Amino acid sequence: MADHPTDDTLQEPTPADGAAGDAAPAPSGGTRWRRFALALVPGLGAAAILGMMTTQGLLAASFAVSGDSFKMSAASLEGEGFTQYGDVATSVDDSARPVGLSTVDTAELKDLCMSSLIDLPIGTATLVIGAGAETPVEGSNLVMDVEQLQGNATFSNIEIGRDASTLDKAEGGAGPAGGFGLQSDTISVQDPKITSWAVNAGSLKLSGLKLSLKPGEHECY
């Protein structure tokens, strides 16, 4: 998991990142994050999917992100206990970016693919990890810093606009007081496609694991 500063100031938004900040400083969970979360809601499911952990949760990790995002896709994701709120991921060069910080208590993903482009002296290569083609990947206390996402999602008993500090449907999924949060009892996502900066898990069972480093660009999507 990435080390997440508490500064809520965002850069000028992109379609995946959220909406513009106000001219005057706003407290955590103010207009900036409300707009960010609203922009996130349409694809929310996909993010949630691998929706995955919190900087202030019991299982929060403390490490700087590499500075390179990676892609994840799956045929489907079924999860129980989901929370999400806006945060910031910081890399080792001190650059920062807004993310949707998501947590899922337990999840199953079918046909999972993860890919990351790597610059080598001989040129670009792609690290590809695949699992769950026959038996779904099983994860607990999953957490992800989501930059952008797409997919078709269904939630049960979803709450949108709840104070992030009171999120309680996923263990360790609460955020800062005043932050814009959302949560649901369950989440089901079909064909999720995610760009993420960091992923963390209490446990992760990768059935049928395949790992390869391929010359050229061979991303999951």
| C-alpha to C-alpha distances, 41 to 86, 159, 166, 181, nearest whole angstrom | 12, 11, 19, 11
pLDDT at site 96: 84
pLDDT digit string (tens) for the chain, length 221 residues: 445 544 444 444 444 444 444 444 444 444 344 444 443 444 444 333 333 333 333 334 344 456 678 999 999 999 999 999 999 888 777 788 889 999 999 999 999 999 999 999 999 999 999 999 999 999 999 998 888 888 999 999 999 999 999 999 999 999 999 999 999 999 999 999 999 988 889 999 999 999 999 999 999 99
pLDDT at 206: 94
Q: Assign residue 66 a region: left if phi > 0, alpha if psi is -120 to 50, beta otherwise?
A: alpha
Per-residue model confidence (pLDDT) at position 148 = 86
> What kind and span of H or E run contains 150?
strand 137-156
pLDDT for 88: 87
Closest CA to 101 of 1, 201, 190: 1
Q: How would you class 7 by CB atoms within 10 Å of its CB: exposed for 0-12, middle for 13-18, buried for 19 or more?
A: exposed
Looking at residue 66, its pLDDT comes to 61
Residue 160 CB coordination number (10 Å):
15
pTM over 0.75: no
- Residue tagged 């005057």 (tokens): 24
User: What is the C-alpha to C-alpha distance for residues 140 and 119, in angstroms, rounded to an integer?
Assistant: 32
Which pLDDT belongs to residue 108? Answer: 95
